[in-house]
Amino acid sequence: MTRHLITSAIPYINGIKHLGNLVGSQLPADLYARYLRGRGHEVLFLCATDEHGTPAELAAAKAGMPVADYCAEMHAVQARIAEGFGLSFDHFGRSSSPQNHALTQHFAGVLADRGLIEEVSQEQIYSPTDGRFLPDRYVEGTCPNCGFEDARGDQCDNCTKQLDPADLINPRSTISGATDLEMRETKHLMLRQSQMKDVLNDWITSKTDWPVLTTSIAKKWLHDGDGLQDRGITRDLNWGVPVKRGDEDWPGMEGKVFYVWFDAPIEYIASAQEWVDAGKGEDWERWWRTDKGADDVRYTQFMGKDNVPFHTLSFPATIMGSGEPWKLVDYIKSFNYLTYDGGQFSTSRGRGVFMDQALEILPADYWRWWLLSHAPETSDAEFTWENFQASVNKDLADVLGNFVSRITKFCRSKFGETVPEAGSYGPEEEALIADITERVARYGAQMEAVEVRKAASELRAIWAAGNEYLQAQAPWTVFKTDPDKAAAQVRLALNLIPLYATLSAPFIPDAAARMLTAMRVENAAWPDDVPAALGALPAGHAFDVPEVLFAKISDEDRAAWAERFAGKRD
């Protein structure tokens, strides 16, 4: 059976992330990992915090903390929130780990030996006011491509164009706000990506099953303008991976560190080493080295569209350029953006819901369901409180929750808290079983293809089929004249609950676990044989009536939350 390696884009350490960040990488990656585990596959699901570069330094300075202390504290915060959302990482690492330091320096040495790293003298922005060179994210200004006034020195968040700080119009220091910037000469290392253009193009072209969003962004960077450019991989910073050539010092590079976008993707590999060193697993190489058994691994990455260029070009250039037998990604699932109620999420303005705040309001499953069922796969999606309330109340409370509550309570009142024995299935029951069988097959195919919204829609339809069956057959009415027939109807409906739990576990794991606990079922297997699964609870099997699975969101709560997160703070 195929083994599955899954990584989600590693989040920056500089603060708690909003719901758009969550649905753009970590949450769909968790959905896929949970699904594959449920199908019996061996899965290694890795993530980490991205701790180097200017975002870390700037956030630490704002917090008044040493950067190492700040990163350690925020890693613990992000790990705790990830656990709160049920993100089932096998390991949640840190790009500042010794493993990533050593591996980044290893790749740099190998790439240099193969002529793919060039030492260049270049002019870089220097701030006399700050008394230092300003790496890319220490400079902001107007984007020369789209006119966005808060473009960063490495990339414009508005149009995603790759930039150099010197490209910005009216540049300013993000440290002091100084505008008296000047160009001074300094030395840096460049990854000669341009030498890999044809190899990368052939590789990307061969990925005919990738989402259009992924390949279109990659090919745009390959072919637009002057095509794929060499990329600077060092910065004048104190915090980061020191520039070394393997274990050796790199003359002329003293006091410099590797650029965060060079070392951050390498953390995917390093996190597997951390996983082993932490005693959680064995033999990381069988996941990452094709000469050590990784040939039978399928590697899937999840990320927002802004991360696509680095994962389709820069990181593969590093891996391929090394000439070593590293595992390359097989499938990249990329996502568009989630917007908030007609605008953008904003940390500074307090606009939108951030992950810690979401968990203060409602349990994780409420958020997981809405985000995944509205995942921005083919276009940007918008979060509104009205839509969130409607989706939770209808899908989770009225359809799934109501079905479970209704049938367990009715059975308790008429037959006791055990699966009734009397009666046999008729054409209505056989029709339901056939319908569910077809829908489960479609659902499985959509999950295999990582079609998140389609899978959510099919799962919702599977839930609804049970409700429609109960409504049409009305066992509470049938019981008055034919108790045996009502017993058979109830028996089938009760058997739907563990089936629903198993299918729903990747989306709403906490509710799924409560459903299985209520039905006194342990380790429910994926229903490869749906008719057999719908007979898994035999007559006489005891169950408990569960507490309400999902409470409805009131109009008052919705209005209060909308006001709270509207972004009134300056």
Q: Residues marked as binding for Zn(2+)? A: 143, 146, 156, 159
Reported residue count of the chain is 570
Question: DSSP string covering 291-347, please?
Answer: GGTGGGEEEEEEEEGGGHHIIIIIHHHHHHHTTS-BPPPSEEEEE-PEEETTB--BT
411, 490 contact by CB (below 8 A):
yes
308, 332 contact by CB (below 8 A):
yes
Phi, psi for 234 (deg, rounded to 5): -130, 160
**Quick one: tokens of 268?**
């995917």
Any bridge partners for residue 268, and if so which? none
- The alpha carbon of 312 is separated from its chain's Cα centroid by a whole number of angstroms, namely 17
CA angle (512 as vertex; 511, 514 as ends), nearest 5: 65
535, 495 contact by CB (below 8 A):
yes
> Binding site: residue ranges?
143, 146, 156, 159, 347
183, 124 contact by CB (below 8 A):
yes
149, 200 contact by CB (below 8 A):
no
Place of tokens 């429609």: 468
100, 241 contact by CB (below 8 A):
yes
> Binding site for ATP: residue ranges?
347
